[in-house]
Amino acid sequence: FGRHERFYFDDGNVIFLVEDTLFNVHRYFLKRESPVFRDMFALTPDADAPEGSSDEHPIVLEGTKSLDFACLLACLYPLSVIQHDDMPAEHWSLALDFAVKWQFHDIRDLAVMKMMDLTTHASTLALQVAAARKHNMEGWYLDAFIKLCERGRPITPEEGELLGMLDVIRISAIRTKLHVGAGASM
């Protein structure tokens, strides 16, 4: 297995295997931020070779992608104290998914905030609508949905795939009403 180039620390004290990549991180941050990891680490370890103690005995995170875990770790280990990684919206969405799954509440809030900051990029609105719907964040969903309805350019095929048929139909209907209403007032 290969070691992650950024998130395999010499002084880390817990090793994870995600897909075919090893991560050596500090359990303190995981315990501090997630009740799921706090409970995982509270389990009595095997005395001979505790899971997570070496590259040969890592904690295997099944059903998780290496990129997803790296995006979450980028939130726990920012490049500097005052600035989080400049990740694209797609990576913040992955961090959000993982944060919700493993109950990293502060990282969930950070990911939402960062994605909302990216609303100046019209291409991220569909991703925000999809992420907000997936995680039942109604206020954020409505905000991004309205901005998507009001923007000038039509929905792209890629955005349509993210949104799903029902939202595409709803947005198209609202956009038609907005444009018909705007034309009538001229």
What is the pLDDT, as a whole number, of residue 48? Answer: 72
Are the beta carbons of 103 and 35 closer than 8 angstroms? yes
Q: How many whole angstroms separate alpha carbon 22 and alpha carbon 31?
A: 19
Mean pLDDT lowest among 53-62, 120-129, 145-154, 170-179: 120-129
Are the beta carbons of 83 and 109 closer than 8 angstroms? no
What is the pLDDT, as a whole number, of residue 119? Answer: 58
Residue-wise pLDDT tens digits, 3-15: 999 999 999 999 9
What is the pLDDT, as a whole number, of residue 123? Answer: 65
User: How much is the pTM?
Assistant: 0.75
Q: What mean pLDDT value characterizes the chain?
A: 88
Residue-wise pLDDT tens digits, 1-48: 999 999 999 999 999 999 999 999 999 999 999 999 999 888 866 667
What is the pLDDT, as a whole number, of residue 80? Answer: 79
* Most confident of the ranges 22-31, 77-86, 118-127: 22-31
Domain boundaries, the chain: 1-118, 121-186
What is the pLDDT, as a whole number, of residue 186? Answer: 45
Q: Position of tokens 């370890």?
A: 45
Token reading at 172: 């198209």
**Is it the case that residue 172 has pLDDT exceeding 50?**
yes
CATH number 3.20.20.140 given to 1-118: no
